[in-house]
Amino acid sequence: MAFLRQLDSSSKACQLAVVPSAVLCAVFSDAFVEMSVKAFELVPAVERDLLMGDKARINIECIECCGKHLYVGTNDCFIHHFLLDEVTSSKGKLSYSAQKLLHKYLGLKKPVAELRAASALERLIVLCDGIVFLIDMVTLETVPSAAGGGAKIRGVTAFCINENPVNGDPFCVEMCVLSSKRRTVQIYMVYEDRVQLVKEVSTPEQPCAVSLDGYFLCLALATQYMILNYNSGASQDLFPYNSEERRPILKRIGREEFLLAAPGGLGMFANAEGVSQRAPVNWSEGVIGAAVCFPYVVALDENFITIHSMLDQQLKQTLSFRDGHILQDFEGKVILASTKAVYVLVPLPLERQIQDLLASHRVEEALTLTEGAQRNIPKDKFQVLHKRILQQVGFIQFSQLQFREAREHFRKGQLDVRELISLYPLLLPASSSFTRCHPPLHEFADLNHLAQGDQEKVLLYKNFLISYLGEVRNTEVVNVCREDVDTALLKLYAEQDHESLLDLLASDNTCLLTDSIPWLEKYHKYFALGLLYHYNGQDSAALQLWIRLADGDLQDSTRTDLFEYIVDFLSSCSNLDLVWTYADWALLKDPTIGMHIFTKRPLSKDVSQLNPDDVITYLGKHSQALLLYLEYLVLERRIQKEKFHTHLAVLYLERVLSLQSQSPTDEAQLTTARERLQALLRESNLYLVQLLLDKMENCEQLLLERATLYGKLEEHERALHILVHQLRDFRSAEAFCLWASSCRDSAYRQQLFHLLLGVYLDGSHRGQSHAVAAGGSGELEMAAVDLLNRHGEVFDAISVLRLLPESWSLQLLRPFLGRAVRASMHACRTSQIALGLAHSENLQLLHDRLKERKKQILVSEKKGCHLCHNTFSEPDVVCLPGAVPVHTHCVAHRVRDSPTKRLLTNSSNHT
Amino acid sequence: MPEASKMKKPDVKLVLLGDMNVGKTSLLHRYTDRKFKDTVSTVGGAFFLKQWGPYNISIWDTAGREQFHGLGSMYCRGASAVILTYDVTNWQSLAELEERFLSLTDTASHDCIFAIVGNKVDLTDPKAQLSQDSSGVSEDQTEHEEERTEPQVLSSCPTPPASPASLSGITVHKQVAHEDAMALYGRILRYKGLEEKSSLPAERMCFETSAKTGYNVDALFETLFDLVLPSILRKRNENQQCPTIDLEECRGASSKRARFCC
């Protein structure tokens, strides 16, 4: 009696009535141990009544399945042939219907020990009563032996078919046979009507089980497993195993890889080289049969079917199965038999297994299973599946606050970030077209659902989103939804008072204005809102907002230097209308800083420039600002325009005059004001001198300024007169001479200094003759002496000597005279040297010329002219320095085209 | 976290061998998971793939139980490094290395390197009680302080399960001195027929570790990874020379052929 109880029998209940899913879950978790996965379902294929009815002594001995054909061998020497059809119910439930085609008594009264189909030959290979023979797959009739070859092998204990034969012949099957007496393994070729021994190899001990791949025999001997290459005879011991104690299992699971029952109930993997490349799985001691259905290892013992994953070696599912007898896989289909009935172990769709794992939050296993299936699924399909699983795993980890892992999985799974954003209420812009994917990636409604009102958690979630969005916003993943991402980020930054808000708005962004305005206003991020307006080209709105903020109508402490910011903004604002509109406000608030609107304007071509005349007109009512602006134009930008220079000079003068008229006068201020005026008067050549002279006609105090102005008019005598006689400031007089001649030649300077000397000497004569003041005339004399001693080099010594009064002592003028004599000597000697050098150069050239003349110059028809590279046709040549012969016309040409010559002709043309 | 690269083909193999309860699994856990966890007696074997630079290194953790002894040579076949592990508080565990485990390494690669590792040194050596591992170990330590439950307590395990006392300075008698391990290393070289001079020195290849505190664990694995790199390169070279290999062909013929064509 086969008793079967599937642990997941709840599936029946499911079909019978609509059971609330919660109840189903309860049943499910009750029946399953925590670790389990539902990877397979056990489906009956052939029931008892189809096979032996109520005959109790009849048992199933072996099975073979080939396509839809199922063969069952029994202990009463019968073979039953069934047609097995898969039936899928409307609900997707798989079942099998078996139709009995034939049964046949083999006539040996012994159990049918093994059955193998050779479908290409339409033969079944049968082992019964120690004899291997062939029967027809359809009629089940024994195949008669062909002439010249037998179709029977006697004395056989076990055989196996090579599923990966080296021999390429499709119409024969390679079979390996273990015989009961000799310690040998025989290789046969099985043909339609005969078997042919091709190889016999001996083994160190009696083999009791065999599996075959290529040339490799995997053998279970009495005390160990070994690999034997029947072609080369090379062998490789695997590991000890007592085959008498426990039935060995050896199962080919792939190319040159076998699964073996090992001591301690292990399922051990070994390849043909004797290396274990996968970690073993842990079975029970009493395993009867095993098979691989990737990625699972299925094993059968007396009471259970156990299913281990090859990926992590863990036990994944256990199915109760009494009287289990046979477990074999046929072309990927795992079939089991109890002694009385046959079942198919149907793998559940991979995706369902993965979803089951995810539903119980077993993310690692789900990922391992997904990734393990990579080679079994078409590439594009796998990628879709893998991405989805990664995303789901990410959300599970996200819900468990495992943000590092979640981030990694979102990234790998190329998650549409809106899936994540949509969990946070109000973050997605109202205009977003996003809808969550279906089926959903997670079970959460929103953040409140996730955090269950725990504000700390909410904060963690928000911080995660901030860092995640910040990370992905510049990647391709968000190409389709940049607006949504940037807007969400802006909202989060604003809400969390995050410092990156300004960086976001100041750099390239796609924040949606309509969605962001109310949000920024709500969190009083007015400065940021201004930036957003500006980014969206609404500078006027930005300025209005900022000005309200600067005036204290709105509160936002983002920037303490907001006023400077606005000024700076206006100074680089390309919309001039805005500049004119808001400059007033800025100048009224602080003219010095406000002026920067005009003075700090970048001078690049990208920024539209202001017309200085317009600015000056505009600044008419802001006198201080006007002065600053003119200073900027004249002193900083050095604009060479008479109007500005005169205007500035007049403003300076007015300032000096107004300071002078104050009483008491602020000397310090006055001095600075005068210094500015004087500097401008000295350095600028553009202002209207006469205008300024007229303006200061009545001011006796501004003598120095007047002297400068006379200097500008080249009325040096008048200027020096003022300086020497009115101001008696000899230092200034000297400085005047230096300044007034600074851009002129030395003769002009000499002339000026002589003039000054003349003024001194005249003054002193006049002083003596008129006897105004003895001290005064002496003072002028001393000034003259000082002048000569200090600036001796400027003067023409001879004419000075003529001017000087006889009475002056030599000692007094010693520095002047010494320098004058030395300079004269120096000039004399220098010219002598120059003369000598010129002489010698001339001689040298003469010498060279003579040398050149003596040299031969070879001219032939084969030789080319260096200028035009044509050959010479006549003996007339011109010789260039270095004995280079060239055509006469080439030289003429060259001389005509030489740059100096061309210059001359050009200039003559133009004039 | 388990590697996602389970399906990658390893370039080289490291095998942990040693008597049961010496802490092979714990050493591997400490290195891969940065934790000292509760382990159960390893059944059969398990392995872990470690990405080391561009290479995949498989580290096999074997079962120390006598029952699985026969499988050892399967795991060792072609190994580039073998870590022979003993328990510093258990003299027998060192003796077993020589008596039982050394012969398993006969199937290892011909240039296989050997490391001898005395684990549980935190029980005997105060300096090993302070973790060397920087990343979040201190919390693990407290978490797992009472979790050193050796599997199979019934067996003659001389080390008691770790108790808080063991960290507060009371040490257990150290049965195996570092010199004993170095002497064993010398004997292993002789067993392998290797010149002591041309082999890696004992001072470099004998480690004392604590899987519990992390003491010396990274140093152990990373020293070995660096030492097996030449072996990887050699293997890759061989594979490049004959990209499709018929193992049988190669065994006899190709070595000869290679010699001729040069």
- Closest partner residue to B7 (CB to CB) among A229, A263, A372 is A372
What is the extent of the structural domain holding B100?
12-261
Q: What is the DSSP string of A823-836?
A: HHHHHHHHHHHHHH
Sheet containing strand B45-52, edge to edge, reads: B45-52, B55-62, B12-18, B81-87, B113-119, B206-208
Name which residue leads in pLDDT, A182 or B150: A182
Sign of the CA dihedral with A616 first, then A618, A624, and A625 last: negative
Question: In A, which residues are within 8 Å of B46 by CB distance?
Answer: 279, 313
Chain pair A-B, CB pairs under 8 angstroms: 81
Tokens linked to A779: 């003072």
Q: Which residues of A touch B34 (CB under 8 A)?
A: none
Q: Which pLDDT score is estimated for B248?
A: 46
Contact between chains at A276 and B6 (C-beta distance less than 8 A): no
CA distance A91 to chain B (A): 35
Tokens encoding A118 = 């050779």
Measured CA to CA, the distance from residue A10 to residue B256 in angstroms comes to 66
Total tally of structural domains belonging to chain B: 1
Q: What pLDDT, on the 0 to 100 scale, is given for residue B260? A: 44
Say if B5 falls within a structural domain: no
Looking at beta carbons, which residues of chain A come within 8 Å of B14? none
Contact B74 A232 (CB under 8 A): no
Helix, strand and coil in chain B, % to nearest 5:
45, 15, 40
| Run of H or E including A582 | helix A576-589
- Contact of B44 with chain A, judged by CB distance below 8 Å, is answered with yes
- B248–A262: do the CB atoms touch at under 8 Å? no
pLDDT tops 70 at residue B240: no
Q: Which helix (H) or strand (E) holds A753?
A: helix A746-770
The pLDDT of residue A387 is 92
- Neighboring chain A residues of B2 at a CB cutoff of 8 Å: 312, 364, 368
Please judge whether B247 and A312 are an interchain contact, meaning their C-beta atoms are less than 8 angstroms apart: no
Chain B environment of A237 (Cβ under 8 Å): 73
> A738: which residues sit within 8 A by CB, 6+ positions away?
A749
Test mutation, B49, B71, B80, B235, chain A, max A CBs within 10 A: B71
Residue pair B65/B41 in contact by the 8 Å Cβ criterion: yes
pLDDT at B258 over 60: no
Q: For residue A373, give the chain B residue with the closest CA.
A: B7
Q: Does pTM surpass 0.90? A: no
The DSSP code for A608 is P
Q: Å from A293 to nearest chain B CA?
A: 16
Contact B44 A405 (CB under 8 A): no
Q: If chain A, 911 residues long, is cut into consecutive pieces of 10 residues, what is the mean pLDDT of each piece?
A: 41 37 33 62 89 85 92 93 90 88 90 92 92 91 71 89 85 90 89 88 91 93 92 90 89 90 90 88 90 90 90 87 90 90 90 87 87 84 92 92 91 90 88 86 87 89 91 82 88 88 87 88 89 89 89 84 87 83 84 82 72 80 81 82 85 83 81 85 81 78 80 81 79 82 81 82 62 59 81 80 80 85 91 95 90 76 80 79 79 74 47 38
A311·B107 Cβ contact <8 A: no
Using the beta-carbon criterion (under 8 Å), do A229 and B248 form an inter-chain contact?
Answer: yes
Answer yes or no: is B45 within a domain. Answer: yes
Rg (CA), chain A: 56
Are B56 and B8 in contact by the 8 Å Cβ rule? The answer is yes
Q: Is A240 on the interface with B (CB under 8 A)?
A: yes
pLDDT for res A188: 92
Give the gap in angstroms from C-alpha A455 to the nearest C-alpha of chain B. Answer: 26
Q: Average pLDDT in the B148-155 region?
A: 42
Residue B2 lies in a domain: no
The rounded radius of gyration (Å) of the Cα atoms in chain B is 19
Instruction: Report the distance separating Cα A684 and Cα A644, nearest Å.
Output: 11
Closest-CA residue to A266 (of B74, B253, B27): B74
* Among A600, A570, A599, A607, residue whose Cα is nearest residue A586: A570
**Any domain includes B168:** yes
Whole-angstrom distance, CA of residue A619 vs CA of residue A614: 8
Could you say which of A268, A279, A364 has the minimum Cβ distance to residue B2? Answer: A364
- Among B4, B60, B248, select the one facing A232 at the smallest CB separation: B248
CA distance A456 to chain B (A): 23
Task: Report DSSP letters for A272-313, one per residue.
Answer: TTS---S--EE--TT--EEEEETTEEEEE-SSEEEEEETTT-
Mind telling me how many Å the CA of A270 is from chain B's nearest CA?
A: 8
Interchain contact, A268 vs B77, CB within 8 Å: no
Mutate to test the interface with B, among A230, A276, A362, A386 (most CBs of B within 10 A): A276
Q: Is B7 part of the contact surface with chain A (CB cutoff 8 Å)?
A: yes
Task: Confirm whether B4 is domain-assigned.
Answer: no
Whether A263 and chain B come into contact, CB under 8 Å, resolves to yes
On whether the CB atoms of residues A317 and A333 are closer than 8 A, the answer is: no
Which CATH number characterizes residue B217's domain?
Answer: 3.40.50.300
For A371, name the nearest residue in chain B, comparing CA atoms only.
B4
CA dihedral angle for residue A717, residue A723, residue A724, residue A728, rounded to 10 degrees: 170
Out of B4, B45, B247, the one facing A371 most closely (by C-beta) is B4
Residue A822 CB burial class (10 angstroms; 0-12, 13-18, ≥19): exposed
Q: Which of B6, B60, B251 sits opposite A372 (nearest CB)?
A: B6
pLDDT of res. A607: 65
The answer to whether B52 contacts chain A (CB < 8 Å) is: no
The answer to whether B235 contacts chain A (CB < 8 Å) is: no
- Tell me how close the Cα of A556 comes to any Cα of chain B, in angstroms: 42
CA–CA separation, A335 and A343 (whole Å): 6
pLDDT of residue B143: 42
Residue B1 lies in a domain: no
Predicted local distance difference test score (pLDDT) of residue A8: 42
Integer Cα distance of B228 and B53 in angstroms: 13
Task: Flag whether residue A269 sits within 8 Å of chain B, measured between CB atoms.
Answer: no
**Buried b / exposed e across B109-146, counting CB within 10 Å, b at 16+?**
beebbbbbbbbbbbbbbeebbebbbeeebeebbeebee
| Cross-chain residue pair B70–A232, CB shorter than 8 Å | no
Q: Does the beta carbon of A241 lie under 8 angstroms from any beta carbon of chain B? A: yes
Nearest CB to B70; choose among A263, A270, A312: A263
- B71:A375 CB<8 A: no
pLDDT at A1: 42
Instruction: Specify the DSSP class assigned to residue A153.
Output: B
pLDDT at position A70 is 94
pLDDT for the residue B96? 92
The shortest CB-CB distance from A239 to any of B6, B70, B247 is to B70
Range in A25-39, B18-32, B215-229 the model is least confident about: A25-39
Residue A651: partners with Cβ closer than 8 Å, 6 or more residues away: A626, A627, A630
A232 CB neighbours in chain B (<8 A) are 248, 251
- Mutation pick from B3, B6, B75, B245 vs chain A, by most beta carbons of A within 10 Å, is B6
Place of tokens 């946070």: A424
